[in-house]
Every structure is written in structure tokens, then in C-alpha cells.
A and B are shown apart, each in its own frame.
Chain A
Amino acid sequence: GAGVSQSPSNKVTEKGKDVELRCDPISGHTALYWYRQSLGQGLEFLIYFQGNSAPDKSGLPSDRFSAERTGGSVSTLTIQRTQQEDSAVYLCASSLFVSSGGNEQFFGPGTRLTVL
């Protein structure tokens, strides 16, 4: 497919369990972002990758959250010991680095995480 894909689309888990969310960016896109969207709220930035490195992790809400990216492609966001306040839609987006003009961020469909 040509777009950003995320899996799973829905995840229900019990409080205290670990979850792993996956993002497949558009092929060739060097930048990858993770965001969180809580019910009725706006976008909350979590982490930004450029290639395999993360120049900006400032949005990760706690040390229970981590993310990695391998091969400059797929990224996984891991939440350890999930809490009910982690329930949200987790969005992934990718973009191509272009020095000027032509930039656009493409979003995935999101993973809806529910922590019981």
C-alpha cells in the first residue's frame, strides 16, 4: 500500500500489561512521528525520528513509554505497565525531508488503545 499503516487498529488490554504498537511509514520517508489523541482532545506530540535516531523524545509522558525504529522504516511504540490514562488513539505520521517546499506529513489510521 502507498499510505502509512498501523497495527493493530484496536487494542484492549488490562492495566499493568505491556503493549506494542506498530507503524509502517511510506517507503522512503525519513521522518516518522508518533502522536497521541485522547478523546475530544487535540494532537499530543510523543516522539520524532529522523532515520533510526530520535532527535526529539520530549513528548514521551513517562519512562513507561519508549519507541524504536529499525532500518529507517518500521517503528514500534511500547508502553509498559499500562495505565487507564494511557487509553487514547495513537497516531503515526511520516514525511519526506525536502529542503524547501513539497513537505507534507502523511498520517496513519491510528491504533485505538483501551486500558481496562
Chain B
Amino acid sequence: AQRVTQPEKLLSVFKGAPVELKCNYSYSGSPELFWYVQYSRQRLQLLLRHISRESIKGFTADLNKGETSFHLKKPFAQEEDSAMYYCALLIPFRGFNKFYFGSGTKLNVKP
């Protein structure tokens, strides 16, 4: 079963419009959640993590345990936000922790 679900493969918005990339997870305990981003011709890198409660490049994400969601939001999208975004979950696995990634959402911000 998928631990992390990103229902949208592709999301297209116009510059200046709000954007929300959806992420739902499957875990009954207290998870660690992350958003990773991959810009064109760059390596995958951490964007933000829920425990830091930070805003990076104008993006925020709130953990909703009731809905088991960790949606990524930005009020005004910029063209440079165009990238592939992955939601990731870190949970216990056989005495250690293991990362689970969603299938990714490609964000296309149009001028």
C-alpha cells in the first residue's frame, strides 16, 4: 500500500496565482514529513520539514493529523517555482527509520 499519496501528477497555474500541492500519508503514529524539490537539471533537495514549521521561498506546509495531510502552499506562485515536488514521510521501520516518497507533482507556473 502507498504510504504517501500525491494525487496530482501535473499542476499548472499562472504566475501570481495561489498554489496548493496535495499530500496525504498513511501512518497512525506521529510522523516526520518533508517536502523535497527538484528543479530542472538539479538534484533533489529538501524544501522544508514540518518539525521546523518554517517558510521557505514563500512555501508553507501544515501537518493535519486528523486528515493525515501535509499540503504544500504558496499564496503567489512565481515562474521559478516550476519544478517537481515530492512529499516524503519518515517513520519507524525495523528498529530504524525509513523514508517513503510520493510519486511527485510537477508544478508548471505559466507567465
Contact = CB atoms under 8 A, between A and B. Distances in A.
Contacts of A56: 93-94, 98
B74 interface: no
B46 A104 contact: yes
Given A43-B86, A55-B93, A33 B99 contact: yes
A45 interface: yes
Contacts of A108: 43
Interface in B30-87: 32, 34, 36, 43-46, 49, 51, 84, 86
Interface residues of B, number: 26
Given A43-B104, A103-B32, A105-B88, A48 B98 contact: yes
B28 interface: no
Interface in A55-82: 55-56
Per DSSP, chain A at the interface is strand
Given A97-B96, A104-B49, A42 B43 contact: no
Given A42-B86, A91-B44, A105 B98 contact: no
18 contacts: A31-B99, A33-B99, A41-B103, A42-B9, A43-B86, A43-B104, A45-B101, A50-B94, A55-B96, A56-B93, A56-B94, A93-B44, A93-B99, A95-B99, A101-B32, A104-B49, A105-B46, A108-B43
Interface of B: 6, 9, 32, 34, 36, 43-46, 49, 51, 84, 86, 88, 90, 93-94, 96-104
